């Protein structure tokens, strides 16, 4: 266990060292001891509140370990935005969110939630549309199923008034889509040791 912890710490040190200036904020927070102070309100500072006429506002949500967040995670967001906006469905991406999973998820390689959240915040600090949200990892007292996380994001985003074209801003217009890796997609067909499916049909339908 000590060896694993040391290796994990070394990886984080390397990540912080090779990704300036995005991780300069994390260095400052580490020096100041300002870790683990998460707001439970959904960050909205980078959210686009206006989209062109005829477009459908969409927010991209990526729940995951982010232990640590990497350049590949950020690339996935960019490629997902490009794919949605070029799909022919008139989507306009208004924002993106990283949502680090709770420590109680139980994955052996997870760094403490406050460290993962701080790294996610640093990773997206240079982005003009991707944000990190701490509700799932820092504001809950237990692990929250992914479908509940998605539902929470959808509910919060639908409280935000968005203006489409010249129309006055209205709520309940943002669609939330989940961004995930191939491992999560493959797990949709997995079963537990009890024989039950890992994901229910209802959960897959929501996602």
Does residue 190 or residue 75 have the better pLDDT? 75
User: What b-and-e string marks burial along 76-92, b requiring 16 or more CB atoms within 10 Å of the CB?
Assistant: bbeebbeebeeeeeebb
Mean pLDDT of 59-82: 95
Place of tokens 């990886």: 11
- Give which of 207, 60, 191, 66 is closest to 146, Cα–Cα: 207
* Reported confidence tier of residue 53, pLDDT bands at 50, 70, 90: very high
Place of tokens 């991707």: 130
Residue 99 clears pLDDT 60, i.e. is over it: yes
Does residue 159 or residue 106 have the better pLDDT? 159
Preceding peptide of 85 cis, ω within 30°: no
Alpha-carbon distance 147 to 131, whole Å?
20
């Amino acid at each position: 266990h000590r060896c694993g912890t040391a290796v994990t710490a070394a990886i984080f040190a390397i990540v912080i060292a090779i990704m300036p200036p995005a991780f300069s904020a994390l260095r400052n927070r580490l020096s100041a001891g300002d870790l683990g102070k998460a707001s439970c309100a959904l960050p909205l500072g980078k959210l686009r509140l206006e989209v062109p006429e005829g477009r459908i506002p969409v927010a991209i949500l990526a729940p995951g370990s982010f232990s640590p967040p990497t350049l590949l995670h950020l690339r996935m967001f960019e490629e997902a935005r490009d794919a949605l906006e070029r799909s022919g469905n008139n989507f306009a991406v208004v924002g993106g969110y990283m949502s680090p999973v709770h420590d109680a998820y139980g994955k052996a390689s997870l760094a403490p939630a406050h460290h993962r959240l701080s790294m996610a915040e640093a990773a997206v600090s240079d982005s003009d549309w991707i944000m990190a949200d701490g509700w799932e990892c820092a504001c809950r007292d237990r692990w929250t199923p992914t479908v509940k996380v998605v539902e929470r994001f959808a509910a919060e985003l639908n409280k935000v008034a968005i203006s489409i074209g010249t129309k006055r801003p209205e709520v309940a217009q943002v669609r939330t889509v989940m961004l995930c890796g191939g491992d999560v997609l493959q797990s949709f067909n997995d079963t537990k040791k009890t024989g039950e499916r890992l994901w229910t049909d209802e959960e897959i339908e929501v996602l």
